[in-house]
Structure formats: structure tokens, C-alpha cells
Amino acid sequence: MFTSDEVATYFMSLIDYVIWFLAILLDRPRVISANVGHAWNLPENTFGAAYARFMGSMNFSPDGRPPVRFMETVELTYVAMRAREVHNFWHTLFDLPTNLIGESSLKRYFHEDLDDVRRRWGIIPAPAPSEPNAVSAS
């Protein structure tokens, strides 16, 4: 059981997150060369320098991503684009390669994060059927 202080604290953190996310939606910052090119000049022990080294070692350009298409709203297009733009931040942060193992590791991390959210909210995914075409006899 949760105390009222814990619930209030949790909801305040949600409100803070929503405010932060809305600010991003309003400002719409971009991870493009014009905005992150200076990362090459940052001190060695900074995230920006690590990101620049990662991008350089992979011969990636922040401007080399394909455009986001087929989204219903401008906001959804931006969110999808933002997810693409920050994806290599995660590779940098976790020091993961861009091969199958690195991508799978990132997916696992985010899946575990979703499991944590599900546990907190009491959301339990339905179990998979024991046989591919099994139908319950109810």
C-alpha cells in the first residue's frame, strides 16, 4: 500500500515530466549538425565529446537520418523524429555498438523499463497461449 505522501510525490513527478515534455514539444529542439557540431570541441570527459566520438567512429551524421513519414499530426511527426535523433545518445550512454547485440540490448533495456511501469500501475500483459493456435474452450 502507498501512503498519501508517496502518491502525491509520484503525481508531482508525473506533472514535472509532463511540463518538461510539453516544453520540448513547444521548443522542438533538434539533434542536427548545426546544433551539435560543437560537440567535437568539448572537453574529453563530457557526454557531448563522447557522442561526437561515437558518431565519428561510426561515420554517422546527425543529418543523415531519413525523414519521418506517415504520421497523423505534426506533433507525432516531431516525437518520432526526436526518438530517431536521440537514439544514438543511448548507444553513447550505454557504450553499445550499432550491431544486433547493441540494438537488442537497447530494446531489452527499454522493455525492462516498461515492465517497471507495468508493475507500478498493476498492468500485467496477457500470457501467451501454450500452443500457437490454441483456443480456450469456455
Kindly write down the DSSP assignment for every residue of 31-100, as one continuous string. Answer: -SHHHHGGGGGS-TTSHHHHHHHHHHHTT--TT-SPPP-S-SSHHHHHHHHHHHHHHHHHHHHHT--SSH
Task: Quick: pLDDT tens for 59-108.
Answer: 999 999 999 999 999 999 999 999 899 999 999 999 999 999 999 988 88
Which residues constitute the domain of residue 22? 1-30
- Give the chain's domain count: 2
Please tell me whether residues 69 and 86 are part of one structural domain.
yes
Please tell me whether residues 3 and 44 are part of one structural domain.
no
Q: Global pTM? A: 0.69
Judge whether 83 lies within some domain: yes
Judge whether 130 lies within some domain: no
Judge whether 138 lies within some domain: no
Please tell me whether residues 26 and 37 are part of one structural domain.
no
Task: Quick: pLDDT tens for 51-67.
Answer: 999 999 999 999 999 99
> Across all residues in the chain, what is the average pLDDT?
85
Q: Which residue has the higher pLDDT, 130 or 78?
A: 78
Please tell me whether residues 68 and 92 are part of one structural domain.
yes
Please tell me whether residues 53 and 81 are part of one structural domain.
yes
Q: Tell me what percent of the residues of the chain surpass a pLDDT of 70.
A: 81
Please tell me whether residues 39 and 82 are part of one structural domain.
yes
Are the C-beta atoms of residues 66 and 51 closer than 8 Å to each other? no
**From CA 13, how far away is CA 8, in angstroms rounded?**
9
Mean pLDDT of 111-127: 63
Q: Tell me what percent of the residues of the chain surpass a pLDDT of 90.
A: 58
